[in-house]
Amino acid sequence: MKTAIYGAGAMGTALGVLMIKSGTAVDLFTRNTAHVTAARNNGLTLRCSADNVAFTVNAPIFTPDEMAARKEKYDLIFLMTKQRENGKIVAFLKDFLTEDGVIVTTQNGFPERGVAEIAGEERTFGCVCSFGANFASAGEAVLTSALKASKVCVGSYGEKAAFTDAAMKKIESVLLPIGKITGGEFYRKTENLRGVRYSKLVLNAAFSGVSAATGMTFGEAAKNKKTKKIVIAAAREVIAVAEKDGVTIEKIQDRDIGKILKKGGAIKEAFLRIALPFFVKTHKNSVSGMLLDLKRGRKCEIDFITGAVSAAGTDLTGEITIPGTYRDMPVIGIAPGAFSGNRDITAVTIENGIYETSEENADFLLRPEKNFD
């Protein structure tokens, strides 16, 4: 069986190193030629800051041009790029699948539909990653989550299950052994993929936008008096959209996040604000990938994270009727506000140079008309 990771950025590097360390052969692909050169010369390194350990492995790593020249076929391709070029990338990858090969997308939001439109539902699987990673330098990534807290959850997409059982066994064979390295249950499968997607969006949409707008880590955003209001409001909006979608949100770290975040009286609200840092303790050092993209002058994934839930709410109702923080919250894109029918267009663009990442953006996000209390 042959396995590939397409998109060996920080997250792809982290997963690739963990796979190889646990005994799985995997080929990695990235457009980052400096990363390829460094890995070939010195090995591929994953530093785990929370556990004070590092793993260095010899990894077969190639550019997409080299992938095309090699013409290898793969049973599993883990798609770990950003979504902006998914149409072109999935069309490219489809030719590198074996007869019953599948694509496992680890991307944020709800990427499966777009992948399935090109590769086919029977070849499309979703993998929700509950860990974070950043680049340290070429050839080296840093795991920002604790090893034991790092997990993935995999499910099939759609109703065409021609390859499901066999493919799930293959996916399990490369992910399950990673638990020996992390010291915990790294892999599990789900029949409720969309519910798992929503559960990650509760955290991702709430914290990633704030992190990108303010420059804070998730832990800092959970402690700050201003930003924790925004985080809670955004998380509640994800839950509201999921409920409208008829989806049961999966538990996060064995906690019923919907029940925890349900709005209550003054005592419950005060407790929630005090307890919020505890809920993200294992990811307290993480920063938004969108923040890193902005620092590098790249387009970020706002449309596929906070925008994914905004779009889902719009699709469900015909208009954006769920009051909240959504597209306005991250201070990153041209963001139509979804505030009880108030269709204002708020030009809040770090990407376009109008704003800069700063903790002061929390004041803009909390302006009185948005009613976060």
Give percent of the chain with pLDDT exceeding 90: 48
pLDDT at 87: 95
pLDDT at 211: 84
pLDDT at 341: 26
Average of per-residue pLDDT across 123-144: 94
Residue 140 has pLDDT above 80, yes or no: yes
| Banded model confidence at residue 55, pLDDT cuts 50, 70, 90 | very high
Q: What's the chain look like in SS3?
A: CCEEEECCCHHHHHHHHHHHHCCCCCEEECCCHHHHHHHHHHCEEEEECCCCEEEEECCCEECHHHHHHHCCCEEEEEECCCHHHHHHHHHHHHCCEEEEEEEEECCCCCCHHHHHHHHCHHHEEEEEEECCEEEEECCEEEECCCHHHCEEEEEECCCCCCCHHHHHHHHHHHHHHHHHHHCCCCEEECCCHHHHHHHHHHHHHHHHHHHHHHCCCHHHHHHCHHHHHHHHHHHHHHHHHHHHCCCCCCCECCECHHHHHCCCCHHHHHHHHHHHHHHCHHHCCCCCHHHHHHHCCCCCCHHHCHHHHHHHHHHHHCCCCCCCCCCCCCCCCEEECCECCECCEEECCCCCCCCCCCCCHHHHHCCHHHCCC
Least confident of 126-130, 157-161, 255-259: 157-161
Average of per-residue pLDDT across 324-353: 35
Residue 225 has pLDDT above 90, yes or no: no
Q: Would residue 297 be called left, alpha or beta, if left means φ above 0 and alpha means ψ between -120 and 50 degrees?
A: left
Q: What are the residue boundaries of the structural domains of the chain, listed by start?
A: 3-191, 196-370
Residue 199 has pLDDT above 70, yes or no: yes
Write the pLDDT tens digit of every residue in 10-30.
999 999 999 999 999 999 999
The CATH superfamily of 3-191 is NAD(P)-binding Rossmann-like Domain (3.40.50.720)
Q: Which residue is it, tokens 């920063």? A: 287
pLDDT at 177: 98
pLDDT at 274: 86
* CATH numeric code, 196-370: 1.10.1040.10
Give the N- to C-terminal CA distance of the chain in Å, as an integer.
54
